[in-house]
Amino acid sequence: MVQTFSTRQATRFIDAFGQGREGDEKVIVRIERRVGAVAEGEDQQLTRDRIWAEDEALAGEASVIENRDLIFMRTKSTTELEADQSLFDAPSRFVKAPSDATFRHSILPNKSLLFRFSALTFNAHSIHLDRQYTQKEEGYRDLLVHGPLTLTLLLSVLGRHFKDLGLRVESIDYKNLAPLFVDEAMTVCAKPKLSGTWDVWIEGPGGSLAVRASVKSSNAQDAI
């Protein structure tokens, strides 16, 4: 018999600060999101009290804890936009991804996927939906794959691989390094290390390193 239960999530602000040299500043905003099961008849405040802890290092009764750094960039000048647009058809410079993966799975994110994820997450940013806007106003050659969608795909693919090994994802630390574009293949790659840790990354076209992650796994039976 399949058991179902309700969950509730809450988000809190942690910190914000500026970074970068003059003329190339960015603002980094740190937030924490927690998800926990809702007891029958429990109101929202009681759930929040259970899943939050005064000390951020303590899990409380949260089932999932996410710490995210959001980076906000300056609006590009006309000169910067024109420079970016002139490189649309030029070969991209990139960091080469590792070549020793023991697991690989390729995905082709299309416009339909981006549209559906935007609708699901109430994200109407045109950079994921309007190619003309993305090129003319943001200086990217095509629609961008959402950062959260990239993480969702990575965890979904890795989770299926772990299931075959009797493992589960216990925690993940990841960083988006380069944009991924619509209708361009992205490949989730992984290799095991010591003590249940895995190196995981996403390759873009030509073997570029787009996302880098460190995943800690544990025995799936331990979660039962």
Predicted local distance difference test score (pLDDT) of residue 55? 73
Predicted local distance difference test score (pLDDT) of residue 2? 47
Question: Where on the phi/psi map is residue 106: left (φ > 0), alpha (ψ -120 to 50), or beta?
Answer: beta
Angle at 52 between CA 49 and CA 58, to 5 degrees: 135
For the chain, 224 residues long, the average pLDDT of each consecutive 10-residue run is 68 92 91 88 82 76 90 91 90 85 97 98 96 96 97 96 95 95 97 95 94 94 66
Strands 26-37 and 7-19: antiparallel
Q: Centre a 10 Å sphere on the Cβ of residue 12 and count the other Cβ atoms it contains.
A: 11
Q: Which CATH number fits domain 77-219: 3.60.10.10, 3.40.50.720, 3.10.129.10, 3.40.50.920?
A: 3.10.129.10
Cα gap 90→86, rounded to integer Å: 8
Q: Whole-prediction pTM value? A: 0.85
Predicted local distance difference test score (pLDDT) of residue 1? 47
Give residue 36's identity as a one-letter amino acid code: G
In the chain, CATH 3.10.129.10 sits at 77-219
Cα gap 94→207, rounded to integer Å: 9
